[in-house]
């Protein structure tokens, strides 16, 4: 049996590819506002979020506990 490999798709203009993210992960400040909703209600909003990028993983967002 061979190893199953995921085929890389070329991202469209304006999109990012998780295969272009670094390893080890990179942490960067997110310039926008992150809003988290649950059950149709806003439970958190932050303009100080961090975004974590790691190869083959979707971006993760971390918000300050105070937000």
> Exposed, middle or buried, 54 (CB in 10 Å: 0-12/13-18/19+)?
middle
pTM over 0.75? The answer is no
Q: How confident is the model at residue 35 (pLDDT cuts 50, 70, 90)?
A: very high
Residue 21 structure tokens:
């993210």
**Domain residue extents for the chain:** 26-62
Residue 7 structure tokens:
């085929």
Q: Name beta bridge partners: 34.
A: 46
Span 12-25, pLDDT tens digits: 898 888 888 888 99
Cα 4-8-14 angle, rounded to 5 deg? 155
């Amino acid at each position: 049996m061979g190893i199953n490999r995921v085929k890389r798709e070329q991202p469209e203009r304006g999109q990012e590819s998780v295969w272009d993210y670094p390893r080890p992960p990179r942490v960067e400040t997110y310039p926008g506002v992150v809003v988290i909703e649950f059950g149709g209600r806003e439970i958190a909003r932050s303009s100080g979020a961090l975004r974590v990028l790691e190869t083959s993983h979707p971006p993760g967002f971390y918000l300050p506990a105070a937000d």
